[in-house]
Structure 1
């Protein structure tokens, strides 16, 4: 972190970009969590897993049988008796066994790779689906980059475990047990002498375990920071270039990138300790084998063939030991990633649906707030004892200074949050008793910062109602006045708008969001500063279209530009989460209260221009 501190000292203003994105998940290494991870294999236990295990069993048995054939039969019988015919048969037999082993390995690798890909696909699908259902407060606390890391990088890091690790673990454990048993059968004395190093290996590997696991957690956290900064930098590139901050932003990125390099280097270094240690243990075992084995041969305690078999098995012994060390490292990486994945999967939405939740069969759009309070956190109360009514078909405007609670009311109507106290009702139904998806099917929201997806104009408008026909899409565009500019594009409604609709102006993007919302045919329409990015001429056309469209629908309009809400049926003036006054434009102007002051100040500002 020292390098990053240096960068921040060079560019102090960049501190505003630096915030904690993730914290290390400190959970004990336990098999309960691994069992939960292995649960994703369950759907394939009857299709792919049995074949892979059988193939693994066959190849392992062949590998264990060949050294015995070489020592016991080839050397002690065929060569000792100088029998070329038997020797030829044995060579052919061993060759056939190796061919069978090759075929078994081919199918084992094929099946476990298919298994691993399916498991990763299922896990990523579940994680993405779960994250989409989480409440807004989950996304309020996390950057997009940190979420991307868990869905992409953390899931990817499990791939090696599922494609090779699990089957290799079974194969190596089976191989290791088989070798140890055979070694003791061949020569208990030589086996005990050679394996004296094992307790030391076990002790050292146990001591390293926690250290390595913590290092891989740090790698995941640092990757979250790197991805978050990349995501933020790409989205804010215009601001960066506008203020000529390319150099400073690059310096900050270099600091984050160096931190990422450093923690990954340390993790890899710690993980690499095990391999050389196994090689050193192998060398020590070989020295013991040669020195003590020679003594046993000279004293007649062991036959030459048994010694050769023993030497082959000893060479094979350290191979699964080494691979088990690699699998153990994979396991540590997988545990660090799975902890972070399960943290997300265990996250429950604050807005949850009751098991017996009801549906709106024919929503009218009558909205009531009954003594509603709401807090985003313990230190910030957004609404204080709000009671209000929005009648069916009314256009209700919410006005007030920034932070007065306008958007919070809209969020509670869509049930993006639940009130801290009080009840929000639609058509007399407490929203907590209703199905969330069904509620939102009847509500369309248009925001100031509208989001346009990559794809065609047609696909973006149809997003609000996927089963809509092309004619219905075009009709919705005509109603909001978007048809003319769409037809002026190179490919009309099939024009690709690129990421976030970058080829469109802010006003054009807003018109598409209007068409998208209106195509959904909502009973309640929420316009949150929806006309702020539209020029006056376009706004006049939209206002004219909205008069026809909003007939019979309940509409909530949030606006700072007060000229856009003059014809609202009810105007609610908010300040610090409280209702100061309400009424239509004429009534509020006559009162000469807060609303009158807001209108007057805006007109004075326009006159000054």
Structure 2
């Protein structure tokens, strides 16, 4: 499926502004903090009572004290009113603080849960899902949920309380004028339904457009070297400009839709107030109604339309939250990596023979990458695996570490099927050095130690010296405390490789796997790396995957893979004497080097 189709599918997964199934799951995260939400509700209703009381008190002040010139009572009412406003401020402040406190804790828990679950997912999941999209799930989507917990769930109660409270008080003040006011509500209801239908489509278009923008930015920044190398800045910008314009149009459509809803509702509110003044003003003039009552009714109409005005924003938040939650739950509902193993390796068992017995493996269906592969690595010996690109060399590493499970056959270590061994125990016994060494941002020594507390500074530095990494580390301004930029971009390929060797040695694995560990390295660094390799592989069961055949001549055994099968095997000299595929590969590389 193309990236474009993925974006369309993902942004259209939820068209509902409210999904009871999703809401039920979201409320489970809030259940732990029920006491905070209860406290917020108490503060909220207290603040609502203050909001409802103010117009009523103003009406009393006008009719009973101002009209009758009761100065002392008016002064007391003024004090009460100031205290009421202050109380409303405190209640609102406390409600916002408690809700925000609870909301942040909930989002923290969701983010930790998603991140923790991601670490348990099989590698095949990350093959199918771009990194940028997963980062968005953990950051943007979880933050979207925060708006729902803090700005929608509890505040909706306040909106209903204000609507109900205002209508009840208005009926107590003057029922006939209240009925006139409520006559505008069907118009508001129709406008709200129209808005809801319109904004759903608009919102979906905006989400799809921003997803395309994010995807284009991520892709172009990652491929900036290729873009500049082939002078494609201009056509690339034109392509991005087209995507940007589509997002601009979608955003402006959203702005216009939201911009129309609020003024239209405010216009209906103003017409309702005008109708109230027209009817109520006559009654005040002929003394059939007090002016303070009319004043209070006008204020209550403003209160009545305030939640309706906020409806557009709350609807947007709710719809965003439903879409965000569905994407988050898609991650959480993905089954974690299964581990049926119950055994734990001790050091002696892990250092035993490795044997692949009639192994068949495919990443997808029966598109076999390995076909009936069998070989054995005696304990403490080194074997090398060579072959053309796509022959299945790297798949052997993935299978040995159980990043993927084989479909047929067995993989044994010391006669123990690795499926019976706990994955954590198995991977602890295997040290892997990849061609593309990954370094984390942080300090250099942390990149060797990887938060393993048992690796002391002395052991770490001893490992670095042993694999010749100490030479360049000692020349760094901060030595082992040097800050590492993202992916180790300030280090050369050879330096990163030496750090990977130091990392492997510091963890002292029983089995060592080297995947193209000497590719793309300059001659001087290669000498250091070859010396480090000799030390690393000594008395250690080792599997070396290499393109440079000159680096594996001293391996105890060399296996040639071709189209997923073991084509031939033997020592370097035996394979050259056989004049088969290995001989052809060697001759080709020899000619290239001479050229």
Alignment: residue pair count: 589
2:345 paired residue number: 360
1:334 paired residue number: 321
Task: Name the SS for the 1:232 alignment partner.
Answer: helix
Q: Say which of 52, 57, 60 aligns to 1:69.
A: 57
Are the equivalent residues in 2 in contact too, given 1:447–1:528 (CA < 8 A)? yes
Are the equivalent residues in 2 in contact too, given 1:127–1:345 (CA < 8 A)? yes
2:28 paired residue number: 39
Shift of the 51–216 alpha-carbon distance from structure 1 to 2, 3 Å rule, reads: same
Give per-residue Cα distances to partners, 1:188-222, cap 9 Å, x unaligned.
33323222332343344334435434443443444
Residue 442 in structure 1 maps to residue 429 in structure 2: yes
For the residues of structure 1 that align with 2:170 and 2:110, how far apart are their CA atoms?
42
Residue 602 in structure 1 maps to residue 589 in structure 2: yes
Give per-residue Cα distances to partners, 1:476-526, cap 9 Å, x unaligned.
112221111221223322222322222221111111112112211112221
Range with greater deviation from structure 2 (315-324 or 303-312): 303-312
1:530 paired residue number: 517
Are the equivalent residues in 1 in contact too, given 2:58–2:296 (CA < 8 A)? yes
Shift of the 558–41 alpha-carbon distance from structure 1 to 2, 3 Å rule, reads: same
Shift of the 157–389 alpha-carbon distance from structure 1 to 2, 3 Å rule, reads: same
CA root-mean-square deviation: 2.7
1:185 paired residue number: 172
1:380 paired residue number: 367
By how many angstroms is 1:300 displaced? 7.3
Are the equivalent residues in 1 in contact too, given 2:501–2:532 (CA < 8 A)? no
By how many angstroms is 1:447 displaced? 1.3
Q: List aligned pairs for 1:6-21, cutoff 5 A.
A: 20-21=6-7
By how many angstroms is 1:286 displaced? 1.6
Are the equivalent residues in 2 in contact too, given 1:445–1:525 (CA < 8 A)? yes
Range with greater deviation from structure 2 (274-283 or 248-257): 248-257
1:6 paired residue number: none
By how many angstroms is 1:399 displaced? 0.9
Are the equivalent residues in 2 in contact too, given 1:22–1:146 (CA < 8 A)? no
Q: List aligned pairs for 1:210-229, cutoff 5 A.
A: 211-229=198-216
Are the equivalent residues in 2 in contact too, given 1:480–1:545 (CA < 8 A)? yes
1:55 paired residue number: 43
Structure 1: unaligned runs, 5 residues or longer: 1-15
By how many angstroms is 1:67 displaced? 2.0
Task: Name the SS for the 1:370 alignment partner.
Answer: strand
For the residues of structure 2 that align with 1:575 and 1:203, how far apart are their CA atoms?
70
Query: TM-score of the superposition, structure 2-length normalised?
Result: 0.91
Task: Name the SS for the 2:547 alignment partner.
Answer: coil
Are the equivalent residues in 2 in contact too, given 1:374–1:381 (CA < 8 A)? yes
By how many angstroms is 1:403 displaced? 0.4
Residue 115 in structure 1 maps to residue 108 in structure 2: no
Are the equivalent residues in 2 in contact too, given 1:117–1:159 (CA < 8 A)? yes
By how many angstroms is 1:544 displaced? 3.2
Are the equivalent residues in 2 in contact too, given 1:397–1:556 (CA < 8 A)? yes
Are the equivalent residues in 2 in contact too, given 1:220–1:337 (CA < 8 A)? no
Q: Say which of 374, 399, 412 aligns to 2:399.
A: 412
Range with greater deviation from structure 2 (99-108 or 34-43): 34-43
Shift of the 513–233 alpha-carbon distance from structure 1 to 2, 3 Å rule, reads: farther
By how many angstroms is 1:560 displaced? 0.9
For the residues of structure 2 that align with 1:438 and 1:289, how far apart are their CA atoms?
78
For the residues of structure 1 that align with 2:136 and 2:81, how far apart are their CA atoms?
49
Structure 2: unaligned runs, 5 residues or longer: none
For the residues of structure 1 that align with 2:580 and 2:426, how far apart are their CA atoms?
36
